Chains A and B, each alone.
Chain A
Amino acid sequence: MKGLLKELCLINGVSGDETAVRESIIEKIKDVCEYRVDNLGSIICFKKGRRTPEKKLMICAHMDEVGFIITYIRSDGTLSFGAVGGIDPSVIIGRQVMVKSSITGETIYGVVGTTAVHNLSKEQREKAPKTDSLYIDIGAADKAEAEKTVALGDNAYFVSEFTELGETKVKCKAIDDRAGCAMMIEMLHEELEYDTYFVFNVQEEIGLRGSTASAFAVAPDYAIVLEATTAADIDGASGAKRVCELGKGPVVSFMDRSTMYDKELYRLAFSIAAEENIPCQTKTMVAGGNDAGAIHVSGKGVRTIAVSVPCRYLHSPSCVIDMADLDDSLRLVRKLAKRITEI
């Protein structure tokens, strides 16, 4: 799955501009299922299993990643931008970005610069930057030169390489949620016991927009959301503040900021994990949220569970996960999909 994850993560697809990700996924799944693209751009796939269940199951992940949108071109040729999705300005300042030009169709490099540290006051050095004080410099001499290449509304992305860290960990941008997309692509290529809907959603990062529409369209009885979630098992963090940890298996939450998860499904996940010897953990803080927030209150209500890969430095150009957790998440989801349908 590492090769697939790398390929997906290196594609640029900020919320609202998921086209390249969608095209890549369709290319991979078009021969193994029925699919359609809805009005917002989400891919709704249906794959026949050996049997047709009484209740409808939907598995989903989101295609979009956090990034930037160009809002203004300044007289000096630098670009003002807005963050698309929640991004800490500390991981924007001092980075290379790519700007996708709607004028030339090409992608150009830029940087988010800053006042040289020599010229900052003592107070300024200790104050975290704010996004609205940052600009993208593409090397244009002035506004006229920049306007030849960049139009308002063009998107920009983090530049990040897919790097292996140690024996089993990897680093890249967009692991949130190409990890979930990779798991679904794997499952779509397998023989399934039951008919299943798989949805690749758009616009999760700006408020669960894609899943709101696609969940209504599919109208499932059960949903499994595949995600990447904040792990804080970093230097200096202890106890509950670690939230969840790399290498300890898929994360199944009882509650986050958007959802109170179905209790029976929550217990089912842990009992399957115990039976199958799959490591599994919960989150030790009520934090974050995902498409489950829109799905579980869709229509007359959907019994929903989320299975997440623990991920350090989420929403930064350097997301880090343990590939063992991704493999274990997929193992758990396969079993879960079968057992949920038999409830």
Chain B
Amino acid sequence: MDLKETIKVLAETAGPSGNEDAAAELALGMLKEYCPEAEIKNGNVIGRFGQFSDEKPSLVLDAHIDQIGMIVTYITDEGFIRMGNLGGIDRRLLPAQPVVIHGSRDIKGVICSVPPHLNKGDSEVLSFDNAAVDTGMSKVELEKIVSAGDSITFDVKCRDLMGSRITGGALDDRCGVAAILRALDMLKGQETAFNVTVIFSTQEELGERGAKIGAFEIDPDIAIAVDVSFAYANGENEESCGYLGKGPMVGISPSLSREISDKLISAAKASDIPYQIEVMSGMTSTNADRYSVNRCGAKTCTVSIPLRNMHTPVEVIDTADVELTAQLIAEYIKEG
């Protein structure tokens, strides 16, 4: 598989929280190459990988399929679309941002930007109460295509930056989905230490809701949440960030299983895979928080791909980190 192309096509397919269908269908098609029986269950893409046997512990590989976005709440008499947020969005960057509204068909729009003469002194940051989308259409035209509850995403293409870095709009967490697919590609036809189930889960950005029901459904002994975490850049606190290009970030936290963290680190060392340690002091704000306390509990760990500008239309990753993340996951699953 061409990893960079896989990441790009996944990131350019819309799947805002609660409306993941397009991205989920695409990911399902990709997963079926490795898990022929894969299916979509209550929104989550779920597939069993390889031969299962009663002697092996069960392990879930999770990445969330949803992305941040907006949702249509109202159409004004003048034909502007009012909206609410899906997940955490930096409102400072909304003005004049191009968007796609996923109505009965996709239409394009621009978030209204208040010109300087209408601002009192310093330009104010838009609140979602007064943010609106301009589609160039009247209310009557719009109502034929758009309804309250339709979702909105930023209109952005993935672009190559220097070296192996890329930018795009939904790299959180489509690069995690791609890392898992790449790991399965490496494991194809090989013995595994676990009964492996893959879950591409919905609604992570709204509070890890898809993972909660996916975890219950599969009831794993071990779970690995493959997500993104903060990469150091201007404006970030270096002490709490990883670095782009230095490999996957293995989580260590009171809410995670130290046994699994240590095994992942050993696997990285044994195979000379560069890695970084991400220490958290409580919950992780990833799907790991759901798996660890599912049913009777699961040993859980995070493996995170470093990412800059999280939850913006200009997220940046190093695709080399995605490849290294896949290698680490594959090594661990092979050896246990």
Contacts and interface: CB of A to CB of B under 8 A. Distances in A.
Instruction: Report if A and B associate in a common complex.
Output: yes
A165 B108 contact: yes
A109 B167 contact: yes
Given A119-B230, A125-B92, A313-B110, A236 B130 contact: yes
Nearest to B96: A316
Interface stretch (B12-20, B113-121, B249-257): B113-121
Q: How large is the interface on A (under 10, 10 to 19, 20 to 34, 35 or more residues)?
A: 35 or more
Given A94-B97, A137-B308, A166-B136, A109 B161 contact: yes
Contact of A235 (B76, B88, B90, B167): B76
A221 to B, nearest CB: 33
A102 interface: no
Interface stretch (A60-68, A138-146, A177-185, A192-200): A138-146
Contact of A88 (B123, B161, B230, B233): B123
B237 interface: yes
A249 to B, nearest CB: 17
Interface in B96-135: 96-98, 108-110, 112-118, 122-125, 130, 132, 134-135
B57 to A, nearest CB: 33
A313 B113 contact: yes
Contacts of B56: none
A304 B240 CA distance: 60
Contacts of A115: 233-236
Interface residues of B, number: 63
A94 B165 contact: no
Given A114-B90, A129-B92, A166-B137, A139 B113 contact: no
Contacts of A169: 136
B313 interface: yes
A118 interface: yes
A234 B236 contact: no
Contact of A163 (B78, B98, B116): B98
Contact of A118 (B88, B96, B159): B88
B141 interface: yes
A171 B92 CA distance: 21
Interface of A: 74, 76, 78, 88, 90-91, 93-96, 108-120, 125-129, 133, 135, 137-141, 145-146, 149, 159-161, 163-169, 171, 230, 232, 234-237, 241, 243, 285, 287, 312-314, 316-318, 320, 322
**10 closest pairs, A vs B, by CB?**
A139-B161, A165-B136, A94-B93, A166-B136, A169-B136, A139-B165, A235-B132, A316-B96, A115-B235, A111-B314
